[in-house]
Amino acid sequence: MSKQITMYDTTLRDGTQGDQVNLSAEDKIRIARKLDEYGIPYIEGGWPGSNPKDERFFELVRKETFRSARITAFGSTRRSNVRPEKDKNLAALLKTEVETVAVFGKSWDLHASQILEVTLDENLAMIEQSVAYLKEEGRKVFYDAEHFFDGYKHNPEYALKTIEAAVNGGADIIVLCDTNGGTMPYAISTILKEAFLHLNVPVGIHAHNDCGLALANSLMAVMAGATMVQGTINGYGERCGNVDLISVMGNLQLKMGYQCTPPERLSQLTELSRFVSEVANVPPLNQRPFVGKSAFAHKGGVHVSAIVKNPAAYEHMDPEQVGNRRRVLVSDLSGKSNIEYKSREMGIRLGGKGFDSQKIVDEIKKLEDKGYQFDAAEGSLELLIKKATGQFEEPFVLESFRVSIEKDRGGETSSHATIKIKVGNDEEITAAEGDGPVNALDNALRKALTKFFPHINEMALVDFKVRVIDGSDATAAKVRVQIESRDAREIWSTIGVSKDIIEASWQALADSVQYKLSKEVDD
C-alpha cells in the first residue's frame, strides 16, 4: 500500500491573492464543487474575518453537500492582549460553523517583534491559546506556521518554540510555510528533519514559488516525512504563486509512488486545471506541466517521425494518464510525417484529388510564407486538408458583404454589416449590428446561416487576436487574425491573413463557421 499524502487546496483563499485572479462567492462555490468531484479532501474557502465576499461564501457553502471534501476556514491567531473568546477573528472562524479551521501564527521573531510588535513570549501565548480555544470549541485545527523556514534560519530555537506552542494548544497538524518562497530544496529537507525531532503530530508543507522551487520544495518535504501538501490549482497565488497542486499530484502519484487522489481521478487532472482557469478567467498556460495544451505537443519533424514509431522517444509519460493528449503541430518545420499523423488524428484520408502528404506540405509552406501559421490554427488546417483532398465542400458561398462604422461627436461608435450568401441555389441577405465591425459581420453571417443550419447557434467566439506580421511599413503591413471558437464539445482555432484587417477577420470567421458545419456533416 503506497503512502497517502493529503491534498489541501487553497485556490479559493491564497489563490485569489494572485494578480489577475478574481473569484466571486458563486465562482468559488463552482470551484469547490469541482474540487470535491475530483476528490480533494480539504478545500480552504477563505478568510471570513477579512472580507464580506468570504463571509458570503461561507453562507452559501453551508447549503452545499459535498461527497467527501471538507471546507475549511482560514484566520489568524488572536490579537495581542485579548482573550481568545473576545477575539473577532477567532469568532469569525467559529461563526462559519466549519469543522476544520486553519489558523496561522508567526514563527519568525522578526515578524513578532517588528510587524506584530509583540513580545516573543506574547506571540507564543497567542499561538497556544488560540489553538487551544478552537480545540475547546470542538474544531479540528491545522496550524500554519507562517515564515517557518525563514524564522528557523534566523532563530531556530524560537521558530521551534512557536510550533511547540501550537502542539501544546492541541493542533492536529502543523503546516510549515515557506511564505516568502525563498528557501532552497536542500534546506527544506534539513529543517524539516530537525522540526520532526520536536513534533509528535503530522506535518504539512505550504510552499510559495518565488524561486521557481515551490514544487521541488513540496516534494522534498514529502520525502522528509510531510503528509499534507497545501497548494492551489494552476499555482495561482500571491507574487509568483503557490505550489501548483496539479504538478504536485502528477509527480507524487505518477513518479514517486505516493497516493494523493483516487487513481481513476488522475485522468481528470487536465479537465480540473482548465475548469479552474475558465472560472478564474485566466488564460490557461500552454506550457503547464502535465496538463498544458503543449505539454505533449511535437513540432520538429525528427521528433514527430520518432513518436510515430514510439511515443516514449519524446514523452516522459502517456498523456492520457492525466487526461491530456498528444498533439502534432504543423508548421513550416514540419515534414510529411506530421501531416500523415495529423490527418490520421483528424480522420482524414490523404491522396484525394492527387493531394498526398508531400503536396499538402508544399501548400502549407506556401501559405506560411504569406504569414499563415497553422500550429495555432488547427481548425483552418483541417479545412485546408479536407478541401484539398476533396472531402469537404464549402456549405455556403459569399456573394458580398459590406461593413460600416459610424462615430459622431461625443457618441460611441456603432458598426453595421450586410452580407449576401448563397447556399445551394438559395440566396440570403441579412444585416446586423455589432460591437465593432467584426462582431457585426459575425452576427450578420450567423443570421444568414441560421435558416439553413440552425445548430450554428451552438457555437460562440471566445477569443480574437490580431497581430501585425511584417511591421516594416506600419498600416500597410499584413495582419494575422486568429479566432478561437467553441461549442459544447470542442474548442477550435482558425486563421486569416491580409493587409486588410476586415478581410483577415472574415477569413478566420468563415473558417470557424465552416469548421463547425464540417463537424455536423461528419456526424
Residues 321 and 396: their CA atoms lie apart, in Å, by 41
Residue the block writes with cell 516568502: 180
Residues 258 and 254: their CA atoms lie apart, in Å, by 8
Residues 380 and 489: their CA atoms lie apart, in Å, by 18
Radius of gyration of the chain (CA): 28
The distance of closest approach from Cβ of residue 179 to Zn ion in the complex, given in angstroms and rounded to an integer, is: 6
- Smaller CB separation from Zn ion, 149 or 372: 149
Q: For strand 414-423 and strand 426-434, is the pairing parallel, antiparallel, or unpaired?
A: antiparallel
Q: For strand 297-298 and strand 479-486, is the pairing parallel, antiparallel, or unpaired?
A: unpaired
Size of the site for Zn ion (CB under 5 A): 1
3-62 binders of Zn ion (CB under 5 A): 14
Residue the block writes with cell 470557424: 512
Residues 129 and 171: their CA atoms lie apart, in Å, by 11
122-161 binders of Zn ion (CB under 5 A): none
244 binds Zn ion (CB under 5 A): no
The distance of closest approach from Cβ of residue 235 to Zn ion in the complex, given in angstroms and rounded to an integer, is: 12
- Smaller CB separation from Zn ion, 14 or 378: 14
N-term to C-term CA, the chain: 45
The distance of closest approach from Cβ of residue 149 to Zn ion in the complex, given in angstroms and rounded to an integer, is: 13
The distance of closest approach from Cβ of residue 455 to Zn ion in the complex, given in angstroms and rounded to an integer, is: 46
* Residue 218 grid cell: 513540496
The distance of closest approach from Cβ of residue 242 to Zn ion in the complex, given in angstroms and rounded to an integer, is: 6
Cβ atoms within 10 Å, residue 395: 18
Question: Residue of minimal CB distance from Zn ion?
Answer: 14
Q: Which amino acid is present at 269?
A: L
The distance of closest approach from Cβ of residue 13 to Zn ion in the complex, given in angstroms and rounded to an integer, is: 8
The distance of closest approach from Cβ of residue 28 to Zn ion in the complex, given in angstroms and rounded to an integer, is: 17
Between helices 336-346 and 357-369, what is the axis angle to 10°? Answer: 100
The distance of closest approach from Cβ of residue 104 to Zn ion in the complex, given in angstroms and rounded to an integer, is: 9
Report whether 280 contacts 226 (CB < 8 A). no
- Smaller CB separation from Zn ion, 14 or 484: 14
- Smaller CB separation from Zn ion, 118 or 177: 177
Q: How many CA atoms lie within 13 A of 477 on its CB side?
A: 14
DSSP for residue 329 = -
> Residue 151: which residues within 8 A CB-CB, separation 6 or more?
106, 107, 108, 109, 110, 111, 145, 158, 159, 162
- Smaller CB separation from Zn ion, 103 or 445: 103
The distance of closest approach from Cβ of residue 247 to Zn ion in the complex, given in angstroms and rounded to an integer, is: 17
Residues 142 and 101: their CA atoms lie apart, in Å, by 6
- Smaller CB separation from Zn ion, 15 or 496: 15
Q: Which of left, alpha, beta for 230 (phi over 0: left; psi -120 to 50: alpha)? A: beta
Residues 270 and 278: their CA atoms lie apart, in Å, by 12
- Smaller CB separation from Zn ion, 151 or 379: 151
The distance of closest approach from Cβ of residue 208 to Zn ion in the complex, given in angstroms and rounded to an integer, is: 6
The distance of closest approach from Cβ of residue 73 to Zn ion in the complex, given in angstroms and rounded to an integer, is: 15
- Smaller CB separation from Zn ion, 175 or 297: 175
> Residue 121: which residues within 8 A CB-CB, separation 6 or more?
none
- Smaller CB separation from Zn ion, 14 or 511: 14
368-397 binders of Zn ion (CB under 5 A): none
433-452 binders of Zn ion (CB under 5 A): none
How does 219-248 read in b/e, with b if 16+ C-beta sit within 10 Å? bbbbebebbbbbbbbbbbbbebbbbbbbbb
- Smaller CB separation from Zn ion, 104 or 492: 104
The distance of closest approach from Cβ of residue 417 to Zn ion in the complex, given in angstroms and rounded to an integer, is: 49
Residues 174 and 161: their CA atoms lie apart, in Å, by 13
Q: For strand 228-231 and strand 203-207, is the pairing parallel, antiparallel, or unpaired?
A: parallel
The contact set with Zn ion (CB under 5 A) reads 14
